[in-house]
Amino acid sequence: MPTPSIANGPMKTLDSGGSSTPAPATPTVPPVNGGPTVAMQQKYGSKNDVKLCNPYASDPIIVTYPRVLTPDSASNLYSIGGCYFGGSGSNAKAWVYGPGFKRDLELRFWTDNAIVVALDANITGIGDEGNLKLVVQRQDGKQVQVSGIVFYAARDTIQLNSVPGSWVNLGQPSPNNYESPSKTLYSHGLTVALYRQIRAKLTPASDYYDLSGLPPGWVVDKLDWMQYDALCPGVVTYKQDFGSWGPQWDPGTGNFHFQWGDTTCSGWTPSPFPWIGWYSNITSSEYSLRIWVRGPRGTRPSLH
């Protein structure tokens, strides 16, 4: 994960699940385009015993097959078991397809009752797909197919460019300047940047970021945040920090409250008339966020 380059002060980093990393659970593919929920351990096919082939039949039959296909290198090898697949040849093929989707499978092994296939490991730019069909074509052109296949895209982590304003509930007082993405505050390329200033003391509060609107297949992966020191001009007679900083995650989601503190200053700026330059209780609060999300490799989430 690249470390953001921000010159002012230390970068604070926290994993989306908290500062600790839980033991990984067996991932489950979510329903995609109406497809079934399928546990990833089913990718190698059914555990049912392969039925004996009917000696009086001749058409190809698929008995065991993978329910989930992914180009992820750790999982990308799949077996298809059945009857009367014939021998290998230039016209012996296997593929998966659905509306607007078709991918040929790479053949690694082919016999009359067993085939081993893989997906192109470099597939990118395609989201998850459900309710696909798996087709096996014999050398003589005869085909057999099964349905209910799920394509689970390889994953990648990218920075979220912006957060729609409707996803954010800002605490009071409202920011003097709120940018997503940042264009003038601090540095370009931040997911969120905001600045508050008021001529009074205030009570630190929080801003709420609801990221449940991310498209299916996308989850919050990480949050980098930065607080900025208050600029107290001239001769400072009083400066005090209040509150605490950092995200508080909603359990089991990528939504979070960002707790912000503030700094109150009093002092005066050099002037021929000192009483004009006096200021009292100017309170400011400034921070920025880089939000990282994980989803199908080579795509970007569409935000509304």
- Please report the pLDDT score of residue 34 as a whole number: 35
- Please report the pLDDT score of residue 171 as a whole number: 93
In which element (H, E) is residue 277 found? helix 274-277
- Please report the pLDDT score of residue 275 as a whole number: 61
Q: What is the pTM of this model?
A: 0.77
Q: Average pLDDT in the 133-156 region?
A: 98
* pLDDT tens string 268-290: 888 776 666 788 999 999 999 99
Look over the chain and give the mean of its residue pLDDT values, rounded to a whole number. Answer: 83
CA proximity to 178, closest of 231, 247, 191? 191
Is residue 275 classed as helix, strand or coil in its secondary structure?
helix
* pLDDT tens string 36-92: 333 333 444 444 445 578 888 899 999 999 999 999 888 899 999 999 999 999 999
Q: Which domains occur in the chain, in start order? A: 12-24+158-296 (no CATH), 31-152 (2.60.40.10)
Give the total residue count for the chain. Answer: 304
* CA dist., res. 86 & res. 247, Å (int): 59
* CA dist., res. 74 & res. 44, Å (int): 12
CA proximity to 63, closest of 50, 72, 47? 50
* pLDDT tens string 105-141: 999 999 999 999 999 999 999 999 999 999 999 999 9
Count the neighbouring beta carbons within 10 Å of the beta carbon of residue 49: 8
Percent of the chain with pLDDT over 90: 66
- Do residues 245 and 289 lie in contact, with contact meaning Cβ atoms separated by under 8 Å? no
- pLDDT score of 19 more than 60: no
Q: CA angle, corner 181, sides to 265 and 251, nearest 5?
A: 85
Return the half-sphere exposure (C-beta side, CA atoms, 13 A cut-off) of residue 11. Answer: 13
Q: CA angle, corner 3, sides to 244 and 171, nearest 5?
A: 30
- pLDDT score of 304 more than 80: no
Query: What would the two tokens of residue 34 be?
Result: 């109406």
